[in-house]
Amino acid sequence: MAIIISKNGKGAVKLDKSSLVEDRLQQYIYDNPESIPLYDLKEDIRLLMLTREFATSSGPIDALGI
């Protein structure tokens, strides 16, 4: 599976799996919620990230947003 990130739908970059660390990816998503392509669902939608590693009875949620 390829992991591709972008900012505001531009400048897409494919991440090298060997350099990918889960914590860095979580932090990137938290810092750049616009990298999640929600605009495919609705053009003016925005994502607000609330927290990382949110504890649940089934295990932590990596990045929680609304």
The partner residues of 14 in beta bridges, in order of sequence, read 4
Give me the DSSP letters along 22-59. HHHHHHHHHH-GGGS-GGGT-TT----EEEEEE--TT-
The predicted structure's pLDDT at residue 21 = 76
* Whether 11 contacts 34, CB under 8 Å: no
pLDDT in tens, the chain (66 residues): 677 778 777 888 887 666 567 888 888 889 998 888 887 888 888 889 999 989 999 999 988 999
- CA pair distance 24, 65, nearest whole angstrom: 17
